C-alpha cells in the first residue's frame, strides 16, 4: 500500500455477542437510515439505526418535551416511524448500552446540542452532494481574449492607478489589489476540457462583476460582468460550456458590502436626504460602517427595505438575475457578517431570505456561505446548504501536517487532535449539510497548502488524499493540482496576495505526477458511493483480537459508509503498520489485503464485510 507490500497473517475472528456491539451502531444521511432523505414538514419518516441490538427507543424533542417511541427490529437494525413536526428534527437512539447521538454512543442522555439534527425541505441539492469543486481567481487563471490586456493606469482604485503585470510575475504585497494580470472568463472557457479531464464537477469563481480592484470584492455594478473579464457574453459562453459537459457554476455573491463607487453608495454619501442613505449605516459625523472599517467597502444595512429589494429580493436583484442567466449557485462572501445596522443583527433571517430567493429562481441552487469560524449555530438554523469548512476541516488537517496555524504561529497538533476537531465539527452539522460543506486546503484568502508544507509534495498529496476522501464537497484551489507554490520564502509568512499567483500554462512547469494523483483520487471519489456521499465514522484504535493498537497514534484513520459500501481511510505522514480486515486496496487495482500492512501516505481499503470488526 502506497508503495509497500502488505503482509498477511493468520488471525482469529472476533465474535461479538448480540447487543454487545452498540459502539458500532451507525446513523447518518443515507436511505437506510432516513426515509425519505429529503422530507417535507408533516411527512412521516422512517428513522433507522444500524445496530446488533434487538430493542431500543427513539428519543426526540417535540414542543419542548422528550418523547420516547419504541424501536422495532428490521434486517440490519432497528427503526421507528415519526412525523416531521419541526425543522430541524432533533433526536437520539436509546440502545441497551447508551444513547446514540450525533457524536456517537454516550452513557447518559446528551444535551440537545449532541442530538441528530434533520432539516426539512428545502435541503441540499442532489448535484452538490460530494461534488468536486475547482476554485478560480479569474484575473490569475488564464487569458483567452484576443484583445490586449489592460494597461497600467487604465483606471484607478481609490485614487491609485492600476498596475499591469506580466503573466508569471510574482504578486507584489505592496500593490496586491492594484495588480491586473489580464485573466478572463474566455480563458476559463478555453480550459474546460482540462478541468473536465481532471474530474471537476463545479467551478466556483471569486467575484466577476464590475469593480475597480483585482479581487473585485468592491462591486461597482452587480448586474454587469466586468468587461475586463469578457463581459456578459463571456459568462454566457462559460455557462453553456459547463452545462454542455454536465458541470456547474457557482459565483461569489458579495452582499455584505458594496464598493465605494457603487451608485447607491455615491448617492447616499452625496445627500443625507437621499433615499439610498438608509441602505448604509452612517454614524454621527458622516463616517459609515464598512467591512473591517475599510472605507472602500461600505456595509449594506438590511434594516432598509430598499436594500433588501435592491440586492436580495427585488425582481432585478442580483441573487435572482444571475440564476435566471444560468448560474447554479452562490457562495456568500462573509456570510456571517450580513446584517442590519452595521452589525450581524438578523443574520439568520437574511441568509434564509437569500436561500429562499435563490430557490425561487432555481429549485436546485446551491447556496453556501463563507462562515469562517464555528458554522454550526448558523447552519442548524435552517439557513444555507453549507459553508466553507475552514474551522472544521482546513485548520485541523493543515495544522497537523504542517505544524503551524493559518496565521503562521507554531502549533503541535497530533493525528488524534486533528481527528477530534474533524469529528466534532462533522458530527454537529445537520444531516445532509454534512455532505455539502465546501472542504478545502487552500483558497484566495489563506496561504497555499504546498507553501505551508514548505514544498513537501508528498505531504501535499496526503493532504489532498484526506480532502478527497472526507465528507463534503472538496474544493481544489487553482494551481494546487499542478504544484503551484508561492514566491515568498517559507519563513516570510504571507497569504494574500502571494497565494494569488498566475497559473502557468507551460505544461513543462506542471507537476504531472501530482495532477495524475489528484485525478485518480477524484475518479475514485466519483465512482465510489461511500467516498462521494457516505457518512463518517471513527475506526477503533485497538485490535479487538489482541487488545493491542490497530494503528499507531501518528495515523489519521476513519471510515466512510453509504448503504452497503464502506471504505477505510488511513493517512500516514510517516511509515506505519496498520491492521486490516480482509478487503481490497482501492489504490492498487483492488488487490487483496488482510492483517498487518505497511502504509506511508494514503491507504484506501474496502473491507469484504461492511462494519466488520478486525
Is 72 a member of any domain? yes
> Which pLDDT score is estimated for 11?
39
- Distance CA(382)–CA(350), nearest Å, equals 11
Give residue 485's pLDDT.
98
- What is the structure's pLDDT at 21? 40
| CATH label of the domain that carries residue 548 | 2.60.40.1180
What pLDDT sits at residue 612? Answer: 54
**φ, ψ (nearest 5 deg) of residue 439:** -85, 145
10-residue mean pLDDT profile of the chain (614 residues): values are 41 33 82 97 97 97 97 97 97 97 97 97 97 98 92 96 97 95 98 98 98 98 98 98 98 98 98 97 94 97 98 98 98 98 98 98 98 96 97 98 96 97 98 98 98 98 98 98 97 95 97 98 98 95 76 95 96 95 94 94 94 52
* In-domain check, residue 98: yes
Name the burial class of residue 148, with classes exposed (0-12), middle (13-18) and buried (19+) by CB atoms within 10 angstroms of its CB: exposed
pLDDT tens digits, residue range 419-446? Answer: 999 999 999 999 999 999 999 999 999 9
Cα(105)–Cα(579) distance, integer angstroms: 24
Hey, which residues does 567 pair with through a beta bridge?
A: 560
* Residues that are catalytic: 333, 370
Which run of H or of E encompasses 360? helix 347-361
The cell numbers describing 430, all together, are: 445537520
Phi, psi of 433 (to 5 degrees): -60, -30
Segment 326-349, tens digit of pLDDT: 999 999 999 999 999 999 999 999
**CA nearest to 236, candidates 225, 221, 220, 252:** 225
Out of 118, 151, 175, a domain closes at: 118
Q: Is position 596 within any domain?
A: yes
User: What is the total count of domains within the chain?
Assistant: 2
Examine residue 196 and state whether it is found in any structural domain, yes or no.
no
Q: Do the Cβ atoms of 67 and 34 come closer than 8 Å?
A: no
Domain boundary residue among 77, 99, 118? 118
Q: Is residue 385 part of a domain?
A: no
Q: Evaluate whether residue 266 is within a structural domain.
A: no
Looking at residue 8, what is its pLDDT?
37
pLDDT at 124: 97
Mark which of 56, 89, 118 sits at the end of a domain. 118
> Which range of residues forms the domain containing residue 599?
537-607
Q: What is the reported pLDDT for 391?
A: 97
Amino acid at each position: 500500500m502506497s508503495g509497500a507490500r502488505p503482509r498477511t497473517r493468520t488471525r482469529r475472528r472476533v465474535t461479538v455477542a448480540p447487543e454487545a456491539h452498540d459502539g458500532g451502531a451507525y446513523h447518518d444521511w443515507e436511505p437506510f437510515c432516513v426515509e425519505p432523505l429529503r422530507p417535507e414538514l408533516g411527512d412521516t419518516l422512517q428513522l433507522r439505526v444500524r445496530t446488533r441490538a434487538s430493542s431500543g427507543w427513539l428519543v426526540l424533542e417535540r414542543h419542548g418535551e422528550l418523547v420516547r417511541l419504541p424501536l422495532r427490529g428490521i434486517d440490519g437494525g432497528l427503526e421507528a416511524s415519526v412525523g416531521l413536526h419541526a425543522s430541524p428534527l432533533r433526536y437520539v437512539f436509546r440502545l441497551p448500552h447508551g444513547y446514540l447521538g450525533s457524536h456517537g454512543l454516550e452513557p447518559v442522555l446528551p444535551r440537545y446540542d449532541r442530538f441528530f439534527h434533520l432539516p426539512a425541505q428545502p435541503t441540499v441539492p442532489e448535484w452538490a452532494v460530494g461534488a468536486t469543486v475547482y476554485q478560480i481567481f479569474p484575473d490569475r487563471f488564464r487569458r483567452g481574449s484576443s484583445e490586449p490586456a489592460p494597461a497600467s493606469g487604465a483606471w484607478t482604485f481609490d485614487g491609485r492607478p492600476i498596475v499591469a503585470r506580466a503573466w508569471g510575475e510574482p504578486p507584489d504585497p505592496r500593490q496586491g489589489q492594484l495588480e491586473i494580470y489580464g485573466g478572463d472568463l474566455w480563458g476559463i472557457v478555453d480550459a474546460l476540457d482540462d478541468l473536465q479531464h481532471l474530474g471537476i464537477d463545479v467551478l466556483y469563481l471569486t467575484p466577476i462583476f464590475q469593480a475597480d480592484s483585482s479581487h473585485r470584492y468592491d462591486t461597482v455594478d452587480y448586474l454587469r460582468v466586468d468587461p475586463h473579464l469578457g463581459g456578459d457574453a463571456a459568462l454566457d459562453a462559460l455557462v453553456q460550456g459547463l452545462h454542455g459537459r454536465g458541470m456547474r457554476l457557482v459565483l461569489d455573491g458579495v452582499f455584505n458590502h458594496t464598493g465605494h463607487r457603487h451608485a447607491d453608495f455615491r448617492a447616499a454619501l452625496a445627500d443625507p436626504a437621499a433615499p439610498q442613505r438608509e441602505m448604509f449605516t452612517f454614524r454621527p459625523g458622516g463616517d459609515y460602517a464598512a467591512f473591517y472599517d475599510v472605507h472602500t467597502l461600505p456595509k449594506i444595512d438590511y434594516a432598509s427595505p430598499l436594500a433588501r429589494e435592491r440586492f436580495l429580493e427585488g425582481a432585478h436583484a442580483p441573487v435572482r438575475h444571475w440564476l435566471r442567466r444560468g448560474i447554479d449557485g452562490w457562495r456568500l462572501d462573509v456570510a456571517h457578517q450580513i446584517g442590519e445596522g452595521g452589525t450581524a443583527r438578523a443574520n439568520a433571517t437574511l441568509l434564509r431570505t437569500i436561500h429562499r430567493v435563490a430557490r425561487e429562481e432555481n429549485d436546485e441552487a446551491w447556496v453556501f456561505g463563507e462562515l469562517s469560524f464555528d458554522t454550526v449555530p448558523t447552519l442548524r438554523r435552517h439557513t444555507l446548504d453549507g459553508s466553507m469548512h475552514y474551522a472544521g476541516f482546513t485548520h485541523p488537517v493543515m495544522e497537523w501536517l504542517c505544524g503551524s496555524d493559518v496565521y503562521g504561529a507554531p502549533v503541535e497538533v497530533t493525528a488524534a487532535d486533528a481527528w477530534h476537531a474533524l469529528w466534532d465539527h462533522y458530527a454537529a452539522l445537520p444531516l445532509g449539510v454534512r455532505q455539502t460543506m465546501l472542504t478545502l486546503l487552500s483558497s484566495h484568502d489563506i496561504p497555499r497548502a504546498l507553501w505551508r508544507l514548505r514544498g513537501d509534495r508528498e505531504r501535499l498529496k496526503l493532504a489532498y488524499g484526506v480532502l478527497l476522501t472526507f465528507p463534503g464537497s472538496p474544493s481544489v484551489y487553482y494551481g494546487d493540482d499542478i504544484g503551484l507554490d508561492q514566491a515568498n520564502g517559507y519563513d516570510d509568512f504571507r497569504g494574500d496576495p502571494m497565494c494569488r499567483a498566475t497559473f502557468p500554462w507551460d505544461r513543462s512547469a506542471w507537476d504531472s505526477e501530482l495532477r495524475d494523483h489528484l485525478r485518480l483520487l477524484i475518479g475514485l471519489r466519483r465512482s465510489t458511493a461511500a467516498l462521494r456521499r457516505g457518512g463518517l465514522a471513527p475506526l477503533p484504535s485497538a485490535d479487538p483480537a489482541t487488545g493491542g493498537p490497530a494503528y499507531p497514534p501518528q495515523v489519521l484513520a476513519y471510515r466512510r459508509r453509504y448503504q452497503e459500501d464502506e471504505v477505510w481511510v488511513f493517512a500516514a505522514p510517516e511509515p506505519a503498520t496498520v491492521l486490516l480486515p480482509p478487503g481490497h486496496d482501492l489504490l492498487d487495482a483492488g488487490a487483496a489485503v488482510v492483517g498487518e500492512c505497511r502504509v506511508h501516505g494514503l491507504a484506501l481499503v474496502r473491507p469484504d464485510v461492511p462494519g466488520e470488526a478486525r
